Amino acid sequence: MKISARNVFDGTVEAVKPGAVNSEVDIALPGGLKIVATVTNDSVAELGLAAGKAVKAIVKASSVLVLTDGADVKLSARNRLEGTVSAIVEGPVSSSVTIALPSGDSVFATITHEGSIALGLKVGSPAAAIFKAPSVIVGVGI
């Protein structure tokens, strides 16, 4: 299957924490990074999600926020992947920002052009990719 989402991470389920309607799924990525996803309990059962299961964590670039200079910033978003800006493509309305992670993976974000300017983004500058757990789609091989 080919998909339009730019962020596809190979991972392994670390834990599934069930709730009344949704479950939290902790996904370990290479290099010690972690992503948290929130999916329905029905999806947990249908996908057979359990510790040790290989999964894909998928996040659309438009769901990723870019944070700079945020050492003391506290957010409700569960996912924060720290890295370095490796590419910026500026457009009149939107900008595409690539953040290289220490693991060798990259996170892609689509943000407004004004936001890119306000953050002072430059290749080589530190940045974090921020996204909420419900923005993560979990996939498994069939």
What pLDDT, in 10s, does the model give residues 119-136? 999 999 999 999 999 999
> What whole-number distance in Å separates Cα of residue 117 and Cα of residue 79?
24
Query: What is the pLDDT, as a whole number, of residue 72?
Result: 82
Q: Is 117 in a helix, a strand, or coil?
A: helix
Query: What is the pLDDT, as a whole number, of residue 69?
Result: 83
- Which residues lie below 8 Å from residue 32, measured CB to CB, with a gap of 6+? 103
Query: What is the pLDDT, as a whole number, of residue 136?
Result: 98
70 close to 82: Cβ distance less than 8 angstroms = no
- In percent, the amount of the chain with pLDDT more than 70 equals 99
Query: What is the pLDDT, as a whole number, of residue 70?
Result: 74
> What whole-number distance in Å separates Cα of residue 103 and Cα of residue 115?
26
Nearest by Cα to 47 from 64, 20, 27: 27
Query: What is the pLDDT, as a whole number, of residue 74?
Result: 85
Q: Is 41 in a helix, a strand, or coil?
A: helix
Q: What is the pLDDT of residues 14-49, one digit of tens each?
A: 999 999 999 999 999 988 999 999 999 999 999 999
Average pLDDT over residues 48-77: 93
Query: What is the pLDDT, as a whole number, of residue 51?
Result: 98
63 close to 135: Cβ distance less than 8 angstroms = yes
